[in-house]
Amino acid sequence: MTDNAQAPADTIYARLGGAAGIQALVDRFYAVMDELPEAYGIRKMHPDLPRANESLFKFLSGWFGGPPLFEQERGHPRLRARHFPFRIGPAERDQWMLCMRTALEEQVPDLDLRGAIHGAFEGMATHIINTEAPKPPPPPLVENELDVIDELARPGVASIIELGCGAARVARELLDRHAGAHVTALEVDAVQHARNLAEPRKRLQFIAAGAQAIPCADASFDLALMLKSLHHVPVPLMGTALAEVARVVKPGGQLYVSEPMYEGPFNDIVKLYNDEGEVRAAAQAALDAALESGAWTELIAGRFDAPRVFASFAEFEARMMRPSFADHQIDAAKLAEVRAAFEPHLGPDGARFRQPMIVRLLLRAGGDTAAQVAA
């Protein structure tokens, strides 16, 4: 086929209007690349725009079903090989596609044709990627979450409430670190609450209650802690629970929330018998809704990894699969399934996991925001 030969009517070449239509698309594509600040990275790879314009026009002529001008002049395009000298990653692909998408929207009014061309370009641009985007460094491994609380919040303040304290390990250690602090610790698990009461200590009050109905006066606390507990609140009551926290925290006080993320090898094992994907997502949605209500503003959102260590599967079973606050309906078949997933992680020193955590620190409206951020 020569440059002047008639292309079949059903080709993209013909539907675009032949050489004139393709040239108009290419011209606009490189004009957009030259204009958009967002395309600066890909523009630097095209120092000679007229030459790039000519090459792309000749390639598209044949690729779209018209005269194979590029092949006649240079042979097989071998696009990936021709682009090896350049570092092309997802960011460069996205910049290139931004320019082409803009040009298509302006030059191709036929929506079906535009969609077909866009899909073809997207596949081609992805094929040319030869450099993966750099992976962000892993979140820090934090042996003791109280170190994070110390860094981000203000646990040395006088009045703290922990909602869902469990065995109250964090509450007790917090009091050891901060002589001026007082902690009110709520727990809904009756068995665990009884154990907590059996080990009293000064400046620590235990109450059998849930976050959705806090038996404390308004504006009583400087800091509220919810450590892996919000997703245990029934989903319909999560909003109520956060409203209750807002009620009992003083204006200018803080709410520290940490929640496990739904990812990683540890989660893959736990979800075999206790899939918390929906409730963990609901917890984050409830926090977003609380922010939208105006009761809080978000100071910090971050991540860390928490170590989870088990000497044996028997310890994992006792601690994780048979807690006092829930019945996971573990039968022999389920136990065997979870064991099979767990045991490949066992080594000479047991099984060690990194559990990804998300932390959000919220500021109660009504206080001196600048002073709280500075603190």
Give residue-wise pLDDT tens across range 86-114.
Answer: 888 899 999 999 999 999 999 999 999 99
Nearest 5°: the CA angle 244, 247, 250 is 135
Contact in structure between 257 and 362 (CB atoms under 8 Å): yes
From CA 2, how far away is CA 130, in angstroms rounded? 34
Q: How far is CA 192 from CA 94, 185, 206, 207, in A?
A: 53, 12, 11, 11
Same fold, 12-128 and 145-374: no
Share of the chain above pLDDT 70, in %: 94
Query: pTM score > 0.75 for this model?
Result: no
Phi/psi at 101 (5° precision) = -60, -40
Contact in structure between 114 and 101 (CB atoms under 8 Å): no
Share of the chain above pLDDT 90, in %: 79
Contact in structure between 226 and 157 (CB atoms under 8 Å): no
Domain spans, the chain: 12-128, 145-374
Give the pLDDT confidence score for residue 366 in this predicted structure.
Answer: 85
Q: Render pLDDT for 240-256 as a digit per residue (tens, 0 to 9).
A: 999 999 999 999 999 99
The CATH T-level fold of domain 12-128 is Globin-like (1.10.490)
Give the pLDDT confidence score for residue 371 in this predicted structure.
Answer: 37
pLDDT at residue 353 greater than cutoff 50: yes
pLDDT band per the 50, 70, 90 thresholds, residue 6: low
Collapse the DSSP code of 204 into the 3-class scheme (helix H, G, I; strand E, B; otherwise coil) and give the result: strand
Instruction: Write down the architecture of domain 145-374 according to CATH.
Output: 3-Layer(aba) Sandwich (3.40)
Q: Render pLDDT for 319-349 as a digit per residue (tens, 0 to 9).
A: 999 998 889 999 999 999 999 999 999 999 9
Burial of residue 263, with CB atoms counted within 10 A of its CB: 0-12 exposed, 13-18 middle, 19 or more buried: exposed
Burial of residue 123, with CB atoms counted within 10 A of its CB: 0-12 exposed, 13-18 middle, 19 or more buried: exposed
Q: How far is CA 141 from CA 226, 238, 269, 306, in A?
A: 20, 29, 20, 6
pLDDT at residue 370 greater than cutoff 70: no
